[in-house]
């Protein structure tokens, strides 16, 4: 049984359904990331866990106990908000201690707890300042301090890093991961940034239009997306999704990718699944991540099924650590990820290796995964 | 996203939580009840009165149907009041807008001393209409005011006695009202001008537009919402205009400067024609609502997005 | 651009700017003139006004008109000056402003942070109440005040002003709190703060500016009111505006213009001082009253 369970949760505002039958759970000490584009309902889901918004139907349980009816302050949770939500009229110390003050905890005890948290987050020297005198990163730490001091069963984070600049965001990401490893408290974390989701999570829930698309470990989500939305949303640069046809060569299935001004590329699929064989002669969407499409020297030697073919290179984008090359397949620009020193020129033809072990196929009509 | 900060409704399990849930409504209720009674209830009361034959006191035993309204619109004083309202509100709105916009544009030219000029233009808005009325009443009085001053400095033939002239008196009220409100319109326009995105103006300058063209083609068209706000505020002040008229002319000479508000007061409390007074108040409210309701509807509706 | 044409442009610019300055100063004179006339003539003996030039400075300075306006001028039937009426206005304004501001703040808090079904309708109805012509409530208000035993009394005027100010005070606070981050309220809820604790500890400390705006707006409007004052007051409760009008428009005796001007300035003084001290907030209130939603 999971520590935090969300069971068939529905949430409507008037006639609009924001969340549609969401069911998921996270084990104690786990790090659950809710990810999706804006308006997918991920923040609403977090708010219902916090008790800040009512649910229409379903059940939320923390440690086996139904919390639907509990006031936010009684759910034994703490929350870090996107804007940090620091009380502007109180000092940092008062901000952190406000919840304890409301609960009537004596001042001495409060000060001790505040000092402990301040030390943990290295904000001891800021305790007498007002939030307006702090930098973005410092506010972020104070907001985390206010959550930590409660020693809750579950931490809730609502896009906590989205107001920070790029560099600070990466530092704080590491910091949050380190804190989680040390405290081992269950975390639910909302973000629209799929890299944050991949790096932090033990479990990821991908949401779209209030519907849970896929729930699993980061590796499952990345390597085995259940539909085109998840495939496209997770990963940067995004997975190449190319219209293709399943063909036949002898007893073997092939995937045919159209090319402008040249014969189609035909890639043999060693031992394709029966599901895919059923699509012979039909259109599919062929999905391949940029790192599975590379120069022959850079290809994964351990991969079971590599196919190399010549492609016309349209654009080359050196990115320092890698070089990205764009070629045209199936009428779309397809991104390949090459080694940084790959010798490749725009306008020329170069061999590219497809790692077909990593390839995925979707039905163009339902957008669901075939194989 | 809804910003409803709904708390868990825990009606059965915990009565304390119920109280906390109801508290917001309990806090709001007295104000809302008072508004319901004192505004909407009273409007209904007045509406009912307007169909009754009330004279000195409310009288709910004689019903006269629409006859108060019929008498109202056949009464020369009401016709005068409506004509005056038309003259007054058109001139008041147009002149205030023109002066307000002109001053705002001039002040927007990086004027030295703006900090001194702006409060001078605006201070009349802090005064009571009664004070304004007293000041202008005597300033325009032929016996001691402008005419007297001009004649005493040698311009013997100068004549300015509008305030004593039944045909012209309403215009003196326009002068005083414009004096009181135009600075406020200036402030609205100035805020609007300052709110225009600087980059748009820079882009137009790079396109080679002159300052005049920039104002005419880009900035003033962007001021449409300000024009609308100014119109609504001024129109509603115009329909309510009462204090200023009382202080300056008290409706005179004769009935020359009666306005609907003055009519209501005089008929209800002076001539014991409460039914007709109520009818005139209902007409006034309908005029204001015809302007305000669509405006509020669009403002509130636009906000929801 | 060649040098000469630039020169012409600059010269044109100078002329235009000079014109703008001239117009701006002309308008400043227009706005200041009535105030100047009031001040100057309130310091002259009556004869000097009748014979002399209204725009000229006094030849013989005197404060007698001020003393008369304040304490001895004939108003209505008694020679009391404006003093008692000034006090009536103070007694009326202070509680009315306090009550309507406190209620407006609570209403604004509920309407933005504790939203419920139909809250927009409630707000819309309160907002519309700002704009009704008060003539429409005069008759029933007089009846209600009579029934409550408050007719012609200062408490009656306080009640009326507090109620008919509620729409605006609610509007001001509602718009201000609308921009106040809801996340702060949520954070406080998680911290376990109650409805009133959130208001007192989180919102109120940040409400300084809007409280000032609201108080100034209410103060100015209620102090300057004439309609309610003239309709619902009796001899003992007449506010200053009504008294001033009685002073100026009394048909008996000689017209003491200098006393009228002194009285007008006395009546205007409180709001003028507020305006001079905190004009910024006054303007903000005007704007908030004009641009709704």
Q: Does A367 fall in a domain? A: no
Model pLDDT, residue C271: 93
The mean pLDDT of B47-59, rounded to a whole number, is 88
Counted domains in chain B:
1
Domain that holds residue B243: 76-304
Counted domains in chain A:
2
pLDDT higher at A160 or A262:
A160
Q: Is C24 on the interface with A (CB under 8 A)?
A: no
How many CB atoms lie under 10 A from the CB of residue A302?
Answer: 7
Whether A154 and A264 share a structural domain: no
The mean pLDDT of C123-148, rounded to a whole number, is 91
The mean pLDDT of A343-349, rounded to a whole number, is 87
Quick check: C193 and A83 CB within 8 A? Answer: no
* Residue pairs spanning B and C at CB distance below 8 A: 282
Please, are residues A99 and A157 in contact by the beta-carbon 8 Å criterion?
no
Model pLDDT, residue B302: 53
Please, are residues C170 and C126 in contact by the beta-carbon 8 Å criterion?
yes
Whether A160 and A271 share a structural domain: no
Q: Does B285 fall in a domain? A: yes
Distance CA A241, CA A315 (A): 18
Place B11 in a pLDDT band, splitting at 50, 70 and 90: very low
Residue ranges in C129-207 assigned as alpha helix (H)? 135-147, 154-178, 182-190, 195-197
Whether A190 and A282 share a structural domain: no
End-to-end CA distance of chain A: 31
Give me A94's structure tokens.
Answer: 């008062």
Please, are residues C260 and C80 in contact by the beta-carbon 8 Å criterion?
no
Residue ranges in A18-106 assigned as alpha helix (H)? 42-50, 92-102
Whether A229 and A264 share a structural domain: no
Q: Number of helices (H) and strands (E) in chain A: give both, helices first.
A: 9, 20
Whether A70 and A186 share a structural domain: yes
Model pLDDT, residue A108: 94
Res. A92: pLDDT tops 80: yes
Q: Does B18 fall in a domain? A: no
Please, are residues B261 and B246 in contact by the beta-carbon 8 Å criterion?
no
Distance CA B218, CA B196 (A): 10
Final residue belonging to a domain, choices A168, A201, A233: A233
Whether A124 and A222 share a structural domain: yes
Q: Residue C37 phi/psi, 5° resolution?
A: -60, -45
Model pLDDT, residue B10: 35
Q: A13 to chain B: which residues are within 8 Å by CB?
A: 2, 4
Closest Cβ opposite residue C181 in set A47, A83, A98? A83
How many CB atoms lie under 10 A from the CB of residue A92?
Answer: 27
Q: Which of residues 261-280 of C touch B (CB under 8 A)?
A: 261, 263-265, 267-268, 271-272, 274-276, 279
Helix (H, G, I), strand (E, B) or coil at C80: coil
Question: Which chains reach chain C with 3 or more Cβ–Cβ distances below 8 angstroms?
Answer: A, B
- What share of chain A has pLDDT > 70, as a percent? 99
Closest Cβ opposite residue A99 in set C186, C191, C205? C191
Res. B262: pLDDT tops 60: yes
Q: How large is the C-alpha radius of gyration of chain B?
A: 25
For residue A71, give the chain B residue with the closest CA: B8
Q: Is C94 on the interface with B (CB under 8 A)?
A: no
The mean pLDDT of B290-298, rounded to a whole number, is 86
CATH number for the domain harbouring residue A338: 2.40.50.140
Q: Does B6 fall in a domain? A: no
Q: Which of B47, B105, B134 to mutate to test the interface with C (most CBs of C within 10 A)?
A: B134
Of the listed ranges A107-111, A116-120, A338-342, B34-38, the one predicted with least confidence: A338-342
Peptide bond into B150 cis (omega under 30): no
Quick check: A102 and C184 CB within 8 A? Answer: no
Quick check: A71 and B2 CB within 8 A? Answer: no
Q: A52 to chain B: which residues are within 8 Å by CB?
A: 5-6
Residues in chain B: 305
Q: Does A369 fall in a domain? A: no
The mean pLDDT of B286-294, rounded to a whole number, is 90
Distance CA A74, CA A51 (A): 9
Residue entry with tokens 């305006």: C275
pLDDT single digits (tens) A8-58: 999 998 888 999 999 999 999 999 999 999 989 999 999 999 999 889 999
The closest alpha carbon to C156, from B38, A192, B275, A259, belongs to B38
Quick check: B35 and C126 CB within 8 A? Answer: yes
- State the pairing for strand pair A65-66/A57-62: antiparallel
Please, are residues C217 and A112 in contact by the beta-carbon 8 Å criterion?
no
The mean pLDDT of C214-224, rounded to a whole number, is 93
Q: Does A371 fall in a domain? A: no
pLDDT single digits (tens) A212-221: 999 999 999 9
Res. C253: pLDDT tops 80: no
- State the pairing for strand pair A306-318/A252-259: unpaired
Burial (CB < 10 A; 0-12, 13-18, 19+), residue A241, is buried
* Residue pairs spanning A and B at CB distance below 8 A: 31
The mean pLDDT of A315-337, rounded to a whole number, is 91
For residue C200, give the chain A residue with the closest CA: A89
Annotation: CATH topology of C83-290: MetI-like fold (1.10.3720)
Please, are residues A263 and A333 in contact by the beta-carbon 8 Å criterion?
no
Query: Domain boundaries in chain C?
Result: 3-72, 83-290
How many CB atoms lie under 10 A from the CB of residue B264?
Answer: 28
Q: With residue C19 as reference, give the H or E element that holds it.
A: helix C3-42
Place A126 in a pLDDT band, splitting at 50, 70 and 90: very high
Place B3 in a pLDDT band, splitting at 50, 70 and 90: very low
Q: Which of residues 42-81 of A touch B (CB under 8 A)?
A: 43-44, 51-54, 68-72
Place C287 in a pLDDT band, splitting at 50, 70 and 90: confident
Q: B36 to chain C: which residues are within 8 Å by CB?
A: 125
Q: Output the CA–CA distances (angstroms, integers) from residue A356 to A329, A339, B101, in the order listed.
A: 15, 19, 70
The mean pLDDT of A251-280, rounded to a whole number, is 81
Domain that holds residue A321: 240-362
Model pLDDT, residue B59: 81
Query: What is the distance in angstroms between the Cα of B36 and the nearest Cα belonging to chain C?
Result: 8
Q: Does B30 fall in a domain? A: no
Please, are residues A32 and A187 in contact by the beta-carbon 8 Å criterion?
yes
Mean pLDDT, all residues of chain A: 91
Q: Against a cut of 0.90, is the pTM above it? A: no
CATH number for the domain harbouring residue A198: 3.40.50.300
Final residue belonging to a domain, choices A212, A233, A254: A233
Quick check: C138 and B128 CB within 8 A? Answer: no
- What share of chain C has pLDDT > 70, as a percent? 94
Model pLDDT, residue B174: 95
Q: Output the CA–CA distances (angstroms, integers) from residue A19 to A2, A99, A157, A251, C116, in the order listed.
A: 21, 30, 19, 46, 20
Q: Which of residues 111-140 of B touch C (CB under 8 A)?
A: 111, 117, 119-139
Whether A201 and A245 share a structural domain: no
Res. A359: pLDDT tops 80: yes
Q: Which residues is A268 bridged to in the sheet? A: A254
Of the listed ranges A67-81, A302-316, A331-345, B3-17, the one predicted with least confidence: B3-17
Distance CA A44, CA A59 (A): 15
Q: Which residues contact A334 (CB under 8 A, 6 or more apart)?
A: A240, A242, A288, A293, A326, A327, A328
Q: Does B246 fall in a domain? A: yes
Q: Residue A100 phi/psi, 5° resolution?
A: -70, -35
Res. B5: pLDDT tops 60: no
Mean pLDDT, all residues of chain B: 86
Model pLDDT, residue B305: 36
Whether A179 and A197 share a structural domain: yes
DSSP symbols for B58-73 = ---S-B-TTHHHHHHH
Res. C7: pLDDT tops 70: no
pLDDT single digits (tens) C151-204: 999 999 999 999 999 999 999 999 899 989 999 999 999 999 999 999 999 999
Place B33 in a pLDDT band, splitting at 50, 70 and 90: very high
Model pLDDT, residue C290: 60
Please, are residues C293 and C123 in contact by the beta-carbon 8 Å criterion?
no
For the stretch B156-174, what's the b/e string if a residue is b when 16 or more beta carbons lie within 10 angstroms of its beta carbon?
eeeebbbbbeeeebbebbb
Please, are residues A32 and A188 in contact by the beta-carbon 8 Å criterion?
yes
Residue entry with tokens 């809250």: C119
CATH number for the domain harbouring residue B113: 1.10.3720.10
Q: Does B61 fall in a domain? A: no
Q: A46 to chain B: which residues are within 8 Å by CB?
A: none
Of the listed ranges A294-308, C82-96, C197-211, C255-269, the one predicted with least confidence: A294-308
* Cα C91 off chain centre by: 16
The mean pLDDT of C227-249, rounded to a whole number, is 92
Query: What is the distance in angstroms between the Cα of A265 and the nearest Cα belonging to chain B?
Result: 47
Res. C291: pLDDT tops 60: no
Question: Which chains reach chain A with 3 or more Cβ–Cβ distances below 8 angstroms?
Answer: B, C
Res. B4: pLDDT tops 60: no
The number of CA neighbours under 13 Å toward the Cβ of A332 is 15
Q: Residue B39 phi/psi, 5° resolution?
A: -105, -65
């Amino acid at each position: 049984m999971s520590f935090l369970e969300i069971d068939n949760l529905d949430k409507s505002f008037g006639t609009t359904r924001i969340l549609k039958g969401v069911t998921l759970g996270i084990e104690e000490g786990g790090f659950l990331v809710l990810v999706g584009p804006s308006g997918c309902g991920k923040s609403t889901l977090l708010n219902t866990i916090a008790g800040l918004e009512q649910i229409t139907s379903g059940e939320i349980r923390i440690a086996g106990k139904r919390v639907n009816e509990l006031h936010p302050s009684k759910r034994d949770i703490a929350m870090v908000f996107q804007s940090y939500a620091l009380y502007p009229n109180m000092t940092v110390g008062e901000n952190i201690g406000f919840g304890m003050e409301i609960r009537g905890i004596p001042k001495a005890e409060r000060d001790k707890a505040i000092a402990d948290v301040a030390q943990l987050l290295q904000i001891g020297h800021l305790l007498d300042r007002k939030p307006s005198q702090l930098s973005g990163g410092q506010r972020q730490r104070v907001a985390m301090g206010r959550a930590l001091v409660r020693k809750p069963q579950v931490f809730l984070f609502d896009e906590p890093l989205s107001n920070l600049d790029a560099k600070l965001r990466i530092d704080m990401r590491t910091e949050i991961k380190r804190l989680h490893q040390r405290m081992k408290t269950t975390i639910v974390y909302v973000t629209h940034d799929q890299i944050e989701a991949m790096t932090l999570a033990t479990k990821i829930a991908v949401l779209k239009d209030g519907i849970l698309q896929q729930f699993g470990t980061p590796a499952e989500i990345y390597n085995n997306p259940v539909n085109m939305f998840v495939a496209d949303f997770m990963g940067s640069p995004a997975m190449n999704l190319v219209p293709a046809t399943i063909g036949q060569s002898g007893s073997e299935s092939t995937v045919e990718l159209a090319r402008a001004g040249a014969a189609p590329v035909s890639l043999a699929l060693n031992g394709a699944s029966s599901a895919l064989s059923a699509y012979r002669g039909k259109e599919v969407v062929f999905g391949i991540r940029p790192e599975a499409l590379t120069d022959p020297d850079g290809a994964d030697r351990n991969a079971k099924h590599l196919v190399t073919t010549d492609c016309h290179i349209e654009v080359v984008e050196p990115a320092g650590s890698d070089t990205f090359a764009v070629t045209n397949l199936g009428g779309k620009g397809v991104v390949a990820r090459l080694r940084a020193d790959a010798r490749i020129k725009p306008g020329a033809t170069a061999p590219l290796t497809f790692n077909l072990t990593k390839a995925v196929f979707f039905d163009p009509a339902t957008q669901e995964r075939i194989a | 996203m809804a910003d409803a900060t709904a708390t868990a409704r825990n009606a059965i399990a915990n009565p304390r939580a119920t109280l906390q849930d109801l508290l917001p409504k309990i806090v709001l209720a007295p104000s809302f009840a008072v508004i319901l009674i004192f505004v909407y209830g009273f409007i209904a009361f007045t509406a009912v009165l307007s169909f009754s034959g009330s004279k000195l006191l409310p009288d709910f035993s004689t019903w006269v149907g629409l006859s108060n309204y019929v008498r109202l619109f056949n009464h020369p004083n009401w016709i005068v009041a409506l004509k005056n309202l038309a003259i007054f509100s058109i001139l008041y709105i147009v002149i205030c807008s023109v002066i307000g916009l002109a001053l705002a544009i001039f002040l927007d030219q990086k004027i030295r001393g703006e900090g001194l000029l702006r409060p001078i233009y605006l201070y009349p808005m802090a005064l009571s209409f009664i004070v304004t009325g007293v000041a202008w009443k005597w300033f325009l009085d032929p016996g001691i005011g402008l005419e007297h001053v001009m004649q005493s400095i040698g311009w013997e033939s100068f004549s300015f006695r509008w305030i004593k002239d039944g045909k012209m008196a309403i215009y003196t009220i326009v002068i005083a009202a414009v004096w009181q409100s135009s600075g406020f319109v200036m402030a609205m326009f100035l805020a609007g001008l300052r709110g225009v995105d600087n980059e748009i103006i820079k882009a137009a300058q790079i396109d080679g537009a002159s300052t005049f063209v920039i104002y005419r083609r880009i900035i003033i068209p962007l001021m449409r919402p300000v024009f609308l706000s100014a119109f609504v505020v001024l129109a509603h002040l115009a329909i309510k205009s009462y204090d200023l008229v009382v202080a300056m002319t008290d409706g005179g000479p004769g009935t020359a400067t009666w306005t609907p508000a003055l009519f209501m007061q005089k008929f209800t409390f002076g001539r014991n024609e409460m039914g007709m007074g109520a009818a005139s108040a209902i007409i006034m409210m309908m005029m204001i609502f015809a302007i305000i309701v669509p405006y509020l509807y669009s403002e509130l509706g636009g906000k929801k997005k | 651009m060649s040098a000469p044409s630039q020169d012409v442009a600059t010269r044109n610019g100078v002329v235009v700017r000079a014109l703008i300055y001239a117009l701006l100063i002309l308008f400043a004179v227009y706005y200041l003139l009535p105030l100047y006339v009031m001040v100057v003539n309130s310091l002259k003996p009556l004869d000097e006004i009748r014979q002399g030039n209204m725009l000229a400075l006094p030849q013989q300075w005197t404060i007698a008109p001020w003393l008369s306006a304040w304490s001895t001028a004939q108003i209505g039937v008694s020679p009391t000056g404006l003093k008692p009426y000034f006090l009536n206005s103070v007694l009326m304004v202070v509680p009315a402003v306090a009550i309507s501001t406190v209620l407006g703040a609570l209403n604004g808090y509920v309407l933005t942070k504790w939203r419920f079904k139909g809250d927009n309708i409630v707000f819309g109805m309160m907002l519309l109440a700002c704009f009704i012509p008060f003539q429409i409530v005069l008759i029933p208000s007089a009846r209600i005040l009579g029934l409550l035993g408050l007719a012609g009394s200062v408490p009656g005027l306080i009640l009326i002003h507090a109620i008919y100010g509620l729409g605006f005070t609610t509007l001001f606070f509602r718009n201000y709190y609308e921009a106040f981050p809801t996340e702060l309220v949520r954070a406080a809820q998680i911290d376990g703060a109650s409805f009133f604790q959130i208001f007192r500890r989180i919102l109120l400390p940040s409400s300084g500016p809007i409280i000032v705006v609201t108080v100034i707006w209410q103060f100015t409007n209620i102090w300057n009111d004439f309609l309610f004052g003239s309709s619902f007051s009796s001899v003992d409760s007449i506010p200053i505006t009504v008294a001033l009008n009685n002073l100026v428009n009394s048909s008996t005796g000689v017209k003491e213009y200098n006393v009228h001007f002194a009285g007008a300035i006395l009546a205007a003084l409180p709001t003028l001082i507020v305006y001079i001290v905190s004009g910024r907030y006054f303007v903000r209130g005007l704007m908030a009253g004009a641009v709704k939603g």
